[in-house]
């Protein structure tokens, strides 16, 4: 996965990328991220990147010119690019979008907006798509870009220490995660479920699937509607419902 990040705050992006799994993914050449300061593409002595909104109103709007110039600079290398503007008006980011980004052959360009917004011509004529980290407003697109890069990069085969980790995650089932336990087997009177220490892998799988279904039914029933339930799932759900 190859990315370019356009931001007014490169340090925010670099600080996160230079730790832990994403750092190792870059060292293993599974992930490449180049970070650019949008201000470097602004003209004039003052390198102004924002201006007042036409029509009035509070706040500032990011000017189109530095962003267009930045992307034109990137394009000089001739690589194909998929340009993503992070904004609360975008398509909500999901695990399936993370899978799509992790497999993307084109370079991904993440444009991080700041201030009250970005000139509409960036959305209509520069970006290929707009992606939102969720239904809330951040101070800027940096955390959203990092969210997208993080969730996507960890799906690249080999990025996690153990290749099975990402595949086996309950979220890849389209469900919320099942509970996890580690030692000690009893902590302050709270015991680890017996099945997890039974060594019976079939029973452990069934318990995890049931607990993932239980949690999802309670917190995110909308997710259940999206996945196709198997006969085993239906049986587990009827057991859960029978418990109450």
Interface residues toward ligand ADE, by CB under 6 A: 86-88, 113, 132-134, 136-138, 140-141, 144
Give 62 or 133: the residue with its C-beta nearer to ligand ADE.
Answer: 133
Work out how close the CB of 33 gets to ligand ADE at its nearest, in angstroms, rounded to a whole number: 18
Beta pairing partners, 118:
62
Joined tokens for residue 49: 């990147």
Work out how close the CB of 113 gets to ligand ADE at its nearest, in angstroms, rounded to a whole number: 6
Give 91 or 165: the residue with its C-beta nearer to ligand ADE.
Answer: 91
Q: Which residue is nearest to ligand ADE (CB)?
A: 144
Give 112 or 176: the residue with its C-beta nearer to ligand ADE.
Answer: 112
Give 87 or 102: the residue with its C-beta nearer to ligand ADE.
Answer: 87
Q: Please enumerate in sequence order all residues whose Cβ is within 8 A of that of 26, keeping only pairs 6 or more positions apart, or say none.
A: 17, 32, 33
Work out how close the CB of 87 gets to ligand ADE at its nearest, in angstroms, rounded to a whole number: 5
Give 54 or 136: the residue with its C-beta nearer to ligand ADE.
Answer: 136
Joined tokens for residue 36: 């650019």
Work out how close the CB of 7 gets to ligand ADE at its nearest, in angstroms, rounded to a whole number: 12
Give 66 or 113: the residue with its C-beta nearer to ligand ADE.
Answer: 113
Work out how close the CB of 233 gets to ligand ADE at its nearest, in angstroms, rounded to a whole number: 32
Work out how close the CB of 147 gets to ligand ADE at its nearest, in angstroms, rounded to a whole number: 8
């Amino acid at each position: 996965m190859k990315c370019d990040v356009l931001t007014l705050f490169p340090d925010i992006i670099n600080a996160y990328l230079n730790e832990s799994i994403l750092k190792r993914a870059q060292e293993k050449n599974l992930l490449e991220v180049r970070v650019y300061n949008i201000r470097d593409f602004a003209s004039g002595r003052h390198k102004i990147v924002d201006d007042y909104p036409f029509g009035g109103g509070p706040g500032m709007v990011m000017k189109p010119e530095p962003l267009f110039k930045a992307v034109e600079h990137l394009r000089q290398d001739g690589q194909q690019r998929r340009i993503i503007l992070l904004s609360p008006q975008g398509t909500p980011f999901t695990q399936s979008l993370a899978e799509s980004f992790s497999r993307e052959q084109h370079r991904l360009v993440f444009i991080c907006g700041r201030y009250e917004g970005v000139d509409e011509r960036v959305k209509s004529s520069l970006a290929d798509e707009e992606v939102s980290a969720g239904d809330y407003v951040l101070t800027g697109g940096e955390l959203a870009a990092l969210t997208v890069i993080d969730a996507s990069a960890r799906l690249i085969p080999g990025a996690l220490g153990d290749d099975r980790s990402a595949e086996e995650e309950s979220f890849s089932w389209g469900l919320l995660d099942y509970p996890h336990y580690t030692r000690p087997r009893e902590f302050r009177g709270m015991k680890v479920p017996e099945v997890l220490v039974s060594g019976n892998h079939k029973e452990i799988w069934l318990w995890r699937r049931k607990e993932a279904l239980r949690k999802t039914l309670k917190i995110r029933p909308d997710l259940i509607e999206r996945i196709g339930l198997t006969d085993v799932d239906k049986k587990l759900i009827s057991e859960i419902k029978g418990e109450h």
